[in-house]
């Protein structure tokens, strides 16, 4: 059943990445806006933090559905991992993409926690800025840039 949904899930996953990138850039911009800690933490920091974390979580959950059920690439790679390591695309999706995106999700959540629970306003902004920037760098490193930028349908 998931195999039938593969093109649709992949299209959704590919389109949502642009929303995640935009949310990451917005959250980083807001967090950097008070890097020097001259003003108290604003609602914008929390709003954009929540937006980024929710967007990356939805993207990650969609990716997990693709990884464990719908994608013929990862199904084939996981069936014979030794053989998959010899070729770029199955290795990339079975190991590299998954690892980078998992790290990106962790960093996004750490940034969200720092934005919420930092001891000072300076720590909230700086912690979020650093964690979100690392998250964005992980996402950029783990994105398959050789694939179409936007998939519509199959």
- Which residue has tokens 């108290």? 40
Report yes or no: 59 and 16 within 8 Å, Cβ to Cβ.
yes
Report yes or no: 14 and 147 within 8 Å, Cβ to Cβ.
yes
CB atoms within 10 A of CB 154: 8
Write down the pLDDT at residue 56. Answer: 98
d(CA 67, CA 72): 9
CB atoms within 10 A of CB 67: 20
Write down the pLDDT at residue 37. Answer: 74
Q: For the segment 88-116, what is each residue's pLDDT rounded down to a tens digit?
A: 999 999 999 999 999 999 999 999 999 99
| 74-84 mean pLDDT | 92
Write down the pLDDT at residue 50. Answer: 97
d(CA 94, CA 23): 26
Write down the pLDDT at residue 21. Answer: 98
Lowest mean pLDDT across 33-37, 54-58, 119-123: 33-37
d(CA 108, CA 65): 20
With a CB cutoff of 8 Å and minimum separation 6, the contacts of 90 are: 73, 74, 76, 77, 84
* Confidence class for position 48, pLDDT limits 50, 70, 90: very high
Whether the pLDDT of residue 11 is over 70: the answer is yes
Write down the pLDDT at residue 153. Answer: 53
């Amino acid at each position: 059943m998931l195999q039938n949904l593969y093109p649709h899930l992949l299209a959704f996953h590919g389109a949502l990445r642009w929303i995640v990138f935009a949310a990451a850039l917005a959250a980083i911009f807001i967090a950097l806006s008070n890097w020097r800690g001259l003003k108290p933490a604003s609602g914008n920091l929390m709003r954009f933090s929540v937006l980024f974390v929710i967007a990356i979580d939805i993207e990650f959950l969609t990716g997990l559905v693709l990884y464990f059920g719908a994608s013929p690439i990862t199904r084939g790679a996981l069936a014979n991992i030794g053989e998959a390591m010899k070729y770029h695309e199955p290795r990339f999706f079975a190991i590299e993409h998954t690892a980078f995106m998992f790290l990106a999700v962790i960093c996004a959540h750490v940034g969200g926690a720092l934005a919420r629970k930092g001891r000072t306003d300076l720590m909230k902004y700086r912690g979020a800025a650093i964690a979100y920037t690392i998250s964005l760098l992980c996402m950029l490193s783990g994105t398959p840039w050789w694939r179409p930028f936007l998939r519509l349908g199959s």
